[in-house]
Amino acid sequence: MTQRLCLVHYHEIGLKGKNRAIFENQLVKNLRRALKAFDVAAIARISGYVVVESADAHASEEMAAAIRRVPGVARVSLAYRCGLDEGDYVACAIRALGESGDFASFKVHARRSATTYERHSIDMNRLVGSALCEAFPDKKVDVHHPDVTVVVHVVQGSTYVYAASAPGVGGLPVGTAGKVVPLLSSGFDSPVATWMVGRRGATCVPVHFSGRPMTADTSEWLCQDIVDALAPSGVVGRLYVVPFGERQREISLAVPQSLRIIIYRRVMVQVAERIAHLEGAKALVTGESLGQVASQTLENIAAVDEAVSMPVLRPLIGSDKQEIIRRAQEIGTYDISCQTAPDCCTLFMPRRPETHARIAHVLEAWESFDHAAMVDELVERAEWRDFSQCPSYRPPRADEYRARHAELAGARKEGER
């Protein structure tokens, strides 16, 4: 019986050696989550691929498009699967090439993954190529630069035939690289940074710092929309929201105006680091791009990083704004980020922010208010919302979260005595 299915290709996973099965199993798990809206009959690993079968034995382009957005997927082919009968796979090849749209040239790439099939790949190429030349006499064969390549692959007792193939997002399956805590705003940069580390296999638990109660909660809703937009990739498991407006006002009254932004960010990364400890995360993530704004110079970045001991990942550090915007359009967050919303980034901004902060001046300003108590309070007031689209995320129980927070705050106070 011939059926049309989605043949999922991957690249990096194939290099994982003895750990390869772990990555493949996580990809299968993530695909099941991503395809909940479809009537899927089975998702299975075969040699070098993952096969997704639809219940009606006729996989659609819509299903293939959903698969392509899952990190770890390098390419998706709408393929026909049949047995080892030559007539069957030749008929599938004719059918696959006929569905390739407008083309002038083609070639056949046949191969077998095991020598148990008696026909050599060269013979398969000749057999299928000859049949395609008869079926499409107005098309020419071009083995070097064809418009369409018809692949005929014998693997594990079946033959997979396809010509239609489209690239996926690549990377590694979410859930294979640990947990990280991104600092998420409703702008362009941090959603892209969050998606990029998720594409490398990290489970993301972002923290949004709201200007509430000094501003409306619009930015919080936009951040939820951004997480929903990232749902096809399944990178976000929980969103934390920290009301920061009142504490920003306190900071603005206590520190020199030029250092406000740096002190804001030091408090923010310390809060994010505390939440990361509570979540069991191993790194923080920001959307900073070197030199893009005043707070993103090397000196200012170093002054912020000094406040935490956890690694801070900056996947956009070498990107310019146009590159970031293009990626935001690709992942579906651009239109949301275009909406203006007041948040903590718009509150109590200095007229002339420091661009090359000296660490001695920063530390002097840092000690001018009770920053440790402020961090304790902000973590205590953090709110959160869980998202079901990330199968690799396991939230801490609320009682455990509060107990661990109290333990960390108590240890901090004990250390100050």
Structural domain of residue 373, as residue ranges? 179-404
Least confident of 37-51, 273-287, 335-349: 335-349
H-run or E-run covering 124: helix 121-135
pLDDT of 407 above 60: yes
| Mean pLDDT for the stretch of residues 153-161 | 94
| Mean pLDDT for the stretch of residues 36-56 | 95
Query: What was the pLDDT predicted at 292?
Result: 85
Domain end point (choices 119, 137, 167): 167
| Mean pLDDT for the stretch of residues 109-114 | 90
Residues 6+ apart with CB under 8 A from 244: 209, 210, 211, 212, 267, 268, 344, 378
Residues 6+ apart with CB under 8 A from 383: 240, 241, 242, 243
In a domain, 172, yes or no: no
How far, CA to CA in Å, does 361 sit from each of 159, 260, 303? 69, 12, 10
| Mean pLDDT for the stretch of residues 87-92 | 96
Residues in the chain: 417
Whether the Cβ atoms of residue 286 and residue 180 lie closer than 8 Å to each other: no
How far, CA to CA in Å, does 236 sit from each of 180, 217, 230, 231, 388? 10, 21, 8, 7, 9
Query: What was the pLDDT predicted at 412?
Result: 60
Query: What was the pLDDT predicted at 114?
Result: 74
Query: What was the pLDDT predicted at 305?
Result: 96
pLDDT of 416 above 70: no
151, 184: one domain: no
pLDDT of 398 above 80: no
Residues 6+ apart with CB under 8 A from 200: 71, 171, 172, 177
Helices (DSSP H) in 13-109: which residue ranges? 20-34, 61-68, 86-98
140, 205: one domain: no
In a domain, 412, yes or no: no
Burial status of residue 407 (CB atoms within 10 A of its CB: 0-12, 13-18, 19 or more): exposed
CATH of the domain at 260: 3.40.50.620
251, 105: one domain: no
156, 282: one domain: no
Six token digits for residue 183: 């600092």
**Binding-site sequence positions for ATP:** 183-184, 208-209, 265, 287, 296
What percent of the chain is modeled with pLDDT above 70? 95
In a domain, 102, yes or no: yes
Burial status of residue 213 (CB atoms within 10 A of its CB: 0-12, 13-18, 19 or more): exposed
As a 3-state breakdown, the chain gives helix, strand, coil percent values, each rounded to 5, of 45, 20, 35
Which letter does DSSP use for residue 240 in this model? E
**Binding-site sequence positions:** 183-184, 208-209, 265, 287, 296
CATH of the domain at 139: 3.30.2130.30
CB atoms within 10 A of CB 306: 14
